[in-house]
């Protein structure tokens, strides 16, 4: 059975990473969270006070983004993103970094910089990658493309719960406004806007439990890999 590439795209906070991680574990594949790569660059620009596009582009050669596996107490492994060798996972999941990531991801040179690295990660296949442009730009020939969606309210509630769990004190209306703003930016930018690949399978998980959703996805995955 040959390994395939699984491309997962969709709006922010619609559970892409949870699904991608579960599928990667099921398949024995490598998981790559491309949003974390944009967030790492966003963190760099915040730390170095870079706001002008030209300054951000000029800084790209000084930025190295990578991933490390970290052992969790329960014997599980987690993937953390690194910025110039530093584990920055703890700093990248804030609204501020998310918004900056959405902004810097509109810069053509930033996208080209990360897309090249993402394509290199998929050379040996056996990869589940999630993001906004994976099925359309990074791996247009991916054997399995999923496009995830859920209503803005459902996604805002999930994001709100996540932030509370992390000890932050969000206001629901702000989180919802943020989800809507980010959707608008992600779908309207000139460079690789978020859109559904024509051959993607659409999964609207507003009213699906995680188990129901994974069952559908595992079945599709098995069907495709059995024919490889």
What are the residues binding ligand DC (CB under 6 A)?
Answer: 12, 34-35, 38-39, 98, 101-102, 105, 131-133, 182, 186
User: Which CB sits closer to ligand DC, 12 or 45?
Assistant: 12
Can you read off the two tokens belonging to residue 22?
């579960």
Q: Least CB distance from residue 167 to ligand DC, whole Å?
A: 19
Taking the least distance from each CB to ligand DC, the nearer of 34 and 213 is 34
Tell me how far, at minimum, the Cβ of 199 lies from ligand DC, in Å.
18
- Rounded Cα distance between 157 and 13, Å, is 9
> Closest separation between CB of residue 132 and ligand DC, Å?
4
Smallest separation, CB 71 to ligand DC (Å)? 23
- Whether 132 and 110 have beta carbons less than 8 Å apart is answered as no
* 201 Cβ contact list (under 8 Å, min separation 6): 144, 145, 146, 147, 220
Q: Note whether 135 and 14 are within 8 A (CB).
A: no
Q: Which residue number, 162 or 204, has a Cβ lying nearer to ligand DC?
A: 162
**C-alpha distances in angstroms, 225 versus 48, 60, 157, 199?**
45, 37, 35, 16
Structure tokens belonging to residue 37: 């790569």
Choose between 105 and 213: whose C-beta lies nearer to ligand DC.
105
CB of 183 to ligand DC, least distance (A): 9
Nearer to ligand DC, 35 or 122 (CB): 35
DSSP, collapsed to helix, strand or coil, labels residue 65 as: strand
């Amino acid at each position: 059975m040959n390994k395939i590439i699984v491309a997962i795209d969709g709006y922010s906070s619609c559970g892409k990473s949870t699904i991608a991680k579960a599928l990667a574990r099921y398949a024995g594949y490598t998981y790559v969270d491309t949003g974390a790569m944009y967030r790492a660059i966003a963190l760099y620009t915040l730390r170095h006070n870079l706001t002008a596009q030209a300054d951000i582009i000029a800084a790209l050669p000084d930025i190295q983004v990578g991933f490390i596996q970290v052992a969790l107490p329960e014997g599980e492994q987690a993937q953390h993103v690194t910025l110039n060798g530093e584990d920055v996972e703890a700093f990248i999941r804030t609204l501020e970094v998310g918004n900056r990531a959405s902004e810097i991801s509109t810069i053509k040179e930033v996208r080209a910089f990360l897309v090249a690295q993402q394509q290199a990660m998929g050379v040996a296949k056996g990869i589940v990658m999630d993001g906004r442009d994976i099925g359309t730009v990074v791996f247009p020939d991916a054997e399995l493309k999923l496009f995830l969606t859920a209503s803005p309210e459902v996604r805002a509630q999930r994001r709100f719960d996540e932030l509370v769990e992390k000890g932050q004190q969000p206001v629901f209306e702000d989180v919802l406004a943020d989800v809507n703003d980010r959707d608008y930016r992600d779908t309207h930018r000139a460079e690789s806007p978020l859109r559904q690949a024509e051959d993607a399978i659409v999964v609207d998980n507003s009213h699906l439990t995680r188990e129901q959703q994974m069952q559908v996805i595992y079945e599709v995955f098995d069907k495709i890999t059995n024919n490889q």
